[in-house]
Amino acid sequence: MITHETVSARAPGRVELLGNHTDYNEGVVLGAAINRLIRVSGTKNPGSVRVTSAGFGKIEVHPSSLRPLQEARWANYTLGVADELRRLNVPIDGFTAHISGDLPVGAGLSSSAALELASALFLLKLFAFDLPPLEIAKACQRAEHHYVGVKSGLLDQVISLFARAQHAVFFDCRSEQIRTVPFPASLALIVAESGKNRELAGGDYNLRRTETNAAARAFGVRALRDLTSAQIYGRLDIPELLRRRALHIVEENERVWRAVELLEAEDGHGFGKLMNASHESSRRNFDNSTPELDLLTSIAQQLPGVLGARLTGAGFGGATVTLCERTAADSIALQLARNYTAQMGTNAKVFVCEIADGARADYSS
């Protein structure tokens, strides 16, 4: 008998607090989930896979012929996850899946990982199969590699899946250690969308991965994780571009280790200084900032009550994250939006975000 039980799952977006492009270099990262999410809901539908989205349309394919789509690329996240889960022996047949939510797309808040995880948890519940959480995250990462063409690290999936409310998530991408660190209640985070959307599959992200791999080979190490900043400064024989790429990654790792200590000591001022230094390194060493992100960061850093600001996520457009005193958060967000509009001539979507719990399946009906 065919049942039409409706299943739903949700996954939050994330802000990368520190650890820019360190994940695929076997480094360490620090991030937090935010209270904006993607939801996937639907039922079993033998013989057909139908995916719909109010913003993007609908697609329908046969379950036996899952492959990346060239037109409706937005559906590749869900289709890729279904394919990867099936390779892990999840008995996926046909299904309907409707995508919804309030997480902005292309803003550097990891809507892609949120969609992948919501799709994965939806399908695992729909077809009654269990997998360890880290295996779910890795399956989602592989879907992004194979179906979307972005050779992403594991940062986004881990933060969205393992997050806890009012905690940052620390992830060591070599040892795969994951732990949560309490986030001071006196502090708040503000997200500001620059209005310049990212398109990581366009090449900049994958190029940085190629460059950092080349830098590791030039320095004679397995990964940039194995270098110190002092070693980089001492090697003037390395091409300047590769030295700058390496310096960004290595100093980002050092900033993450220090940031965990500062969070545990509730030192928001020290943490904010690390965020400022991170953005400056993105601008000077990694070339993944933009004039819009630089302006948002500069405006924020000059406002009373702000402790630090930086781009969040891969860069090349998207959003910034600002650390500030909670009591001033609303007024800072308003002023940041006003100043950006006055100087750039375009509106910035700015909001104070709460640090949220991680992805989960919701309910059946």
Catalytic residues: 156
Q: How far apart are CA 24 and CA 232, in angstroms?
A: 19
φ/ψ (deg, to 5) at 50: -125, 120
CB-based contacts of 18: which residues, under 8 Å, 6+ apart? 29, 30, 252, 255, 256, 259, 274, 275, 278, 310
The single-letter DSSP state of residue 102 is S
- The alpha-carbon radius of gyration of the chain (Å, integer) is 20
**Residue 285 CB: number of other CB atoms within 10 A?**
18
Which residue type does 312 have?
T
Q: From CA 345, how far away is CA 347, in angstroms rounded?
A: 7
Taking the mean position of all CA atoms in its chain, how far away is CA 259?
18
> What are the phi and psi torsion angles at 235 (to 5°)?
-115, 85
Distance CA 227, CA 233 (A): 11
In which element (H, E) is residue 101 found? strand 95-101
Least Cα distance to 120 among 107, 138, 105 occurs for: 138
SS3 (DSSP) at 54: coil
Q: Give the span between the Cα atoms of 104 and 107, in whole angstroms.
A: 6
